[in-house]
């Protein structure tokens, strides 16, 4: 599909896009194999290779670059199963509500399947978690039917790494949000320009006594480290950036990993089994190459960064007689506690043009609801933004109670497209013992591997939380001056791109999969670093924390390796 | 894929799942470009289906003081898409058309076909369809809207007629103010 990512041609002259890439033979025992090159995998590749280790990254997707990206929404972006995302025809997922139900083919697991993973086409909201996120069980107790627990680390442990993410990948924002936890450094870049949605959110929030603030976004407001600033093109949500302004792993971490001269990004390589020896140590990873031929890449240690769906799937597929329930799964926790965050959405129609399709998606946020008043009896919290729900393919949008076709609809189509926005409440969701991903006993993918099967029923608290956020969202729209408000959704998402919690970190090997160093409790030279590590869901926007965890994990793993303790 | 997943209404926050197509397939159709000759043979639709869709899509997005589905060549988009990016949905779409024909044949006691109805009767029958067979209506509306608003390289949205209708401009960079409310805040 894509051409060679390392070269292109300009007026007939070859142009080098990436530095020459070091390659290894599968029989070379490299220091680390990393599975996945997404938000976390990119950081691991860059940090470990720059720290002097030899690294092979196995990535199932292709290596696309901005030359391949397009404004045509039919390829990639919001259309599932296209160029950027996982293709359910080849890799189906199945889902069901409870153990009693038969799982059916479904598109519950939504992720980027390219070098850079989900960071290539994401929205790039980059929120730090508040301090309370890490100690909720202690502070608020454990609700019935939930496995919520404290993290084995605290905000203070992560703060230096949050700062590192901001400076190393490029995050735009403004320090001083009263609801943001303490930070040691300002943002490297000022906020992106305010949009009409941001002005309206300010209006509504100020009226309600809330505190709107410039949104922290992993999109460059100005040129930074050799990359262009955002040019406010017409399509951002779900699209790959054509000017390298979106701070994806593809344009930040991966080129720097390659430049180390010690890192190979091996694409179209689908990992199917983490290999172990008689002493229970990892020896490498077997994958399908682009011709569906099985290849074993040998390694001294393995890092799984394949995301909260694919990492547990890979561990469960790596069962042996020594690890009958799957690798690193003596706790039975691999795949469990899956969380997707919750969302509450309402649409508002305004008097004048908003044109939210221009520029980055979000320019203002409200975090007053990070911690909820105890009197409400709700567990968790979240934040709000105002955003434009429509891209040109949504030109056929309608409004409840108004004509949906004919000349009458046509007269209103421009209003729906340019004068509407959505209030989006992003919320926490509770982990429960039975919500999980495992291997479907029947459905197989195009490589003959089992489909990931989701079992999920939202926790009752999360529906109540969603209802509250929906109502508050309506108040924000009305206070902002909306002429009409529509929609009624609020609750836990039963799928989507936030794939969290399925290999949780903790100090107790009986209730968690990895320790605070991201090392599998059961396997000394196996590490897991991605969204699966989350103990709690966060209040929306997980990726900033996924990358902060990855930077911290890289430091810990480097220290262990240098001390010959792997 | 479930038939009902095919061409979801575009009214939601996200465009619907429109069947699987690979990136290379998508790029290949760009050669098709807009402006197929009026007389060119259809790739997928029968002449009868094309005629029916011409009338239906022109009721959904009529030509009035601004151009509509006809000028945007929505039927050419549907035909070409069914031969390429929506190839997997050919059967589903044939079923949608069959359901439509069956439903509208009961509109008049004499069982007249949709195309034999007067324009006003056709509009009325479409309203009935929307009310009583919302899934069939949604499929037809969905693919019509897709032909109106997809990138012109797929054969519809001819002359960017759809984009002009909604006020979308495919320039690759913008500067504030983006809308009415952020004026004075640049
Ligand atoms: C449209 C959209 C908008 C989003 N917006 C936001 C946002 O605003 N803020 C936010 O915080 N988050 C957002 N997200 C979520 C964000 O993309 C994810 O949280 C993040 O990418 C997860 O990082 P990860 O490292 O855990 O996994 P990923 O980024 O998913 O990376 C995993 C990589 O591993 C590869 N892989 C998987 N299995 C294998 C295997 N067996 N062999 C080889 N390779 C494999 C995958 O192809 C992928 O490249 C959004 C996501 C989407 C889709």
Q: Judge if A276 and A383 occupy the same domain.
A: no
Q: Which atom of ligand 1 is nearest to the CA of A42?
A: 25
Q: What is the largest CA-CA distance in chain B?
A: 64
Least CA distance to A410: which residue of chain B? Answer: B61
CATH (domain of A358): 3.30.410
CATH (domain of A42): 3.50.50.60
Best of B22, B181, B184 to mutate (most A CBs within 10 Å, chain A): B181
In a domain, A359, yes or no: yes
pLDDT score at A520: 98
Q: Judge if A282 and A156 occupy the same domain.
A: yes
A205 lines ligand 1 (CB under 6 A): no
What number of other Cβ atoms are within 10 A of residue B65's Cβ?
A: 7
**Helix or strand holding residue A420 (H, E):** strand A420-427
Q: Judge if A452 and A487 occupy the same domain.
A: no
Q: Judge if A179 and A281 occupy the same domain.
A: no
Q: What is the count of structural domains for chain A?
A: 2
- Is residue B138 packed enough to be buried (19+ CB in 10 Å), middle (13-18) or exposed (0-12)? buried
In a domain, A82, yes or no: no
> Can you give the residue range of the structural domain that contains A395?
172-236+342-427+459-493
In a domain, A191, yes or no: yes
Q: Do A406 and B62 touch (CB under 8 A)?
A: yes
Total number of residues shown for chain B = 186
Among A250, A497, A531, A538, name the best residue to mutate to test ligand 1's pocket (greatest count of ligand atoms within 8 A of Cβ).
A497
CA distance B5 to chain A (A): 11
DSSP 8-state class, residue B158? G
For residue A401, CA distances in Å to A404, A486, B11, B180 come to: 9, 10, 13, 26
Q: Judge if A62 and A47 occupy the same domain.
A: yes
Judge whether B141 is closer than 8 Å to chain A, CB to CB. yes
Strand arrangement of the beta sheet that strand A364-366 belongs to: A212-214, A364-366, A382-387, A420-427, A342-349, A484-492
pLDDT-flagged residues of chain B (< 70): 1-36
Q: Do A417 and B166 touch (CB under 8 A)?
A: yes
The percent of chain A in helix, strand and coil, each rounded to the nearest 5, is: 25, 25, 55
Q: Judge if A335 and A321 occupy the same domain.
A: yes
Please report, in tens digits, the pLDDT of each residue of chain A (566 residues total).
344 556 555 555 555 567 789 999 999 999 999 999 999 999 999 999 999 999 999 999 999 988 888 777 765 544 445 578 888 889 999 999 999 999 999 989 999 999 999 999 999 999 999 999 999 999 999 999 999 999 999 999 999 999 999 999 999 999 999 999 999 999 999 999 999 999 999 999 999 999 999 999 999 999 999 999 999 998 888 889 999 999 999 999 999 999 999 999 999 999 999 999 999 999 999 999 999 999 999 999 999 999 999 999 999 999 999 999 999 999 999 999 999 999 999 999 999 999 999 999 999 999 999 999 999 999 999 999 999 867 888 899 999 999 999 999 999 999 999 999 999 999 999 999 999 999 999 999 999 999 999 999 999 999 999 999 999 999 999 999 999 999 999 999 999 999 999 999 999 999 999 999 999 999 999 999 999 999 999 999 999 999 999 999 999 999 999 999 99
Q: Which residues on chain A are in Cβ contact (under 8 Å) with B180? A: 196, 352-354
Report CA(B81)–ligand 1 centroid distance (Å): 30
Strands A13-16 and A7-10: antiparallel
Q: Judge if A268 and A348 occupy the same domain.
A: no
Residue with tokens 């955003």: A387
Q: Judge if A472 and A323 occupy the same domain.
A: no
Give the residue extent of every domain in chain B. Answer: 3-182
Among A36, A42, A257, A504, name the best residue to mutate to test ligand 1's pocket (greatest count of ligand atoms within 8 A of Cβ).
A36
pLDDT score at A3: 44
Question: Coil, helix or strand for A215?
Answer: coil
| Contact in structure between A134 and A513 (CB atoms under 8 Å) | no
Report CA(A118)–ligand 1 centroid distance (Å): 3
Cis peptide before A198 (omega within 30 of 0): no
Strands A104-106 and A270-276: unpaired
Q: Judge if A398 and A478 occupy the same domain.
A: yes
**Helix or strand holding residue A308 (H, E):** helix A307-317
Q: Which of A303, A300, A326 is nearest to A436 (CA)?
A: A326
In a domain, A81, yes or no: no
CA-based angle A148:A371:A501, to the nearest 5? 30
Report CA(A360)–ligand 1 centroid distance (Å): 19
| Contact in structure between A113 and A269 (CB atoms under 8 Å) | no
In a domain, A45, yes or no: yes
pLDDT score at A482: 98
- Angle between the A155-165 and A543-562 helix axes, to the nearest 10 degrees? 100
Best of B24, B153, B166 to mutate (most A CBs within 10 Å, chain A): B166
- Angle between the B134-149 and B119-132 helix axes, to the nearest 10 degrees? 110
Q: Which residues on chain B are in Cβ contact (under 8 Å) with A83? A: 22-23, 26
In a domain, A12, yes or no: no
Beta bridge partners of A214: A364
pLDDT score at B2: 26
Q: Judge if A509 and A373 occupy the same domain.
A: no
In a domain, A78, yes or no: no
Q: Judge if A332 and A351 occupy the same domain.
A: no
Best of B9, B15, B31, B123 to mutate (most A CBs within 10 Å, chain A): B15
In a domain, A100, yes or no: no
Q: Judge if A404 and A443 occupy the same domain.
A: no
Report CA(A64)–ligand 1 centroid distance (Å): 15
ipTM of this predicted complex? 0.93
């Amino acid at each position: 599909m894509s051409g060679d990512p390392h070269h292109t041609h300009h007026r007939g002259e070859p142009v080098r896009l990436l530095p020459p890439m070091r390659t290894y033979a599968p029989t070379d025992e490299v220091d680390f194999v990393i599975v996945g090159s997404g938000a976390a995998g990119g950081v691991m590749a860059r940090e470990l290779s720059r720290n002097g280790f030899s690294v092979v990254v196995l990535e199932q997707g292709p290596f696309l670059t901005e030359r391949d990206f397009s404004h045509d929404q039919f390829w990639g972006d919001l259309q599932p199963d296209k160029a950027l995302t996982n293709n359910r025809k080849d890799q189906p997922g199945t889902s069901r509500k409870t153990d009693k139900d038969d799982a059916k083919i479904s598109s519950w697991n939504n992720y980027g399947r390219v070098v850079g993973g989900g960071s290539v086409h994401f929205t790039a909201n980059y929120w730090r978690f508040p301090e309370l996120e890490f100690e909720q069980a202690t502070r608020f107790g454990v609700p019935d039917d939930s496995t919520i627990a404290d993290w084995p680390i605290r905000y203070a442990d992560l703060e230096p790494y949050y700062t590192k993410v901001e400076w190393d990948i490029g995050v735009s924002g403004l320090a001083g949000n009263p609801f943001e936890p303490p930070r040691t450094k300002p943002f490297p870049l000022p906020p992106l320009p305010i949009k009409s949605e941001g002005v309206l959110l300010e209006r509504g929030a100020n009226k309600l006594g809330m505190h709107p603030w410039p949104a922290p976004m992993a999109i460059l407001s100005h040129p930074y480290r050799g990359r262009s600033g955002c040019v406010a093109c017409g399509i951002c949500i779900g699209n790959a950036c054509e000017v390298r302004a979106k701070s994806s792993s593809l344009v930040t971490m991966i080129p720097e990993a390659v430049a180390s001269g010690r890192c190979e990004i091996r694409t179209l390589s689908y990992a199917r089994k983490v290999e172990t020896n008689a002493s229970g140590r990892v020896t490498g990873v077997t994958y399908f190459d682009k011709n569906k031929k099985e290849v074993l890449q040998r390694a001294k240690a393995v890092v799984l960064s394949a995301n909260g769906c694919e990492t547990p799937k890979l561990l469960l597929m790596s069962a042996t007689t020594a690890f009958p329930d799957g690798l690193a799964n003596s706790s039975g926790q691999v795949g469990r506690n899956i969380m997707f965050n919750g969302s509450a959405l309402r649409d508002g129609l305004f008097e004048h043009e908003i044109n939210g399709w221009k520029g980055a998606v979000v320019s203002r946020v409200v975090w007053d609801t990070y911690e909820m008043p105890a009197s409400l009896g709700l567990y968790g919290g979240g934040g709000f933004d105002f955003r434009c729900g429509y891209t040109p393919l949504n030109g056929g949008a309608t409004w409840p109670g108004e004509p949906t076709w004919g000349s009458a609809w046509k007269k209103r189509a421009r209003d729906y497209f340019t004068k509407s926005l959505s209030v989006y409440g992003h919320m926490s969701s509770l982990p429960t013992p039975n919500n999980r991903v495992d291997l479907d006993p029947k459905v197989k993918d195009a490589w003959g591997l089992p489909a990931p099967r989701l079992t999920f029923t939202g926790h009752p608290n999360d529906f109540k939380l969603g209802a509250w956020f929906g109502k508050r969202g309506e108040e924000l729209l009305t206070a902002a001056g909306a002429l009409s408000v529509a929609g009624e959704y609020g609750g836990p998402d039963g799928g989507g791109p936030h794939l969290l919690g399925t290999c949780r970190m903790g100090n107790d090997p009986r209730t968690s999969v990895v320790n605070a160093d991201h090392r599998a409790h059961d396997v000394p030279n196996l590490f897991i670093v991605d969204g699966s590590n989350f103990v709690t869901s966060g209040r929306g926007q997980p990726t900033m924390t996924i990358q902060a965890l990855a930077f911290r994990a890289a430091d810990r793993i480097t220290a262990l390796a240098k001390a010959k303790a792997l | 894929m479930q038939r009902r997943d095919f061409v979801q209404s575009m009214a939601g926050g996200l465009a619907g799942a429109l069947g699987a197509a690979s990136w290379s397939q998508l790029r290949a159709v760009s050669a098709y470009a807009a402006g197929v000759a009026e007389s060119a043979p259809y790739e997928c639709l029968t002449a009868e289906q094309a005629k029916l869709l011409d009338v239906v899509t022109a009721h959904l997005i009529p030509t009035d003081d601004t151009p509509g589905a006809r000028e945007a060549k929505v039927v050419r988009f549907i035909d070409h898409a069914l031969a390429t990016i929506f190839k997997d949905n050919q059967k589903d779409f044939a079923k949608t058309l069959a359901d439509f024909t069956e439903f509208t044949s009961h509109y008049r006691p004499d069982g007249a076909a949709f195309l034999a109805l007067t324009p006003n009767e056709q509009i009325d029958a479409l309203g009935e369809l929307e009310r009583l067979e919302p899934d069939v209506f949604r499929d037809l509306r969905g693919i019509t809207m897709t032909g109106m608003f997809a990138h012109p390289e797929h054969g519809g949205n001819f002359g960017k007629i759809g984009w002009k209708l909604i006020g979308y401009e495919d320039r690759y960079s913008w500067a504030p103010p983006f809308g009415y409310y952020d004026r004075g805040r640049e």
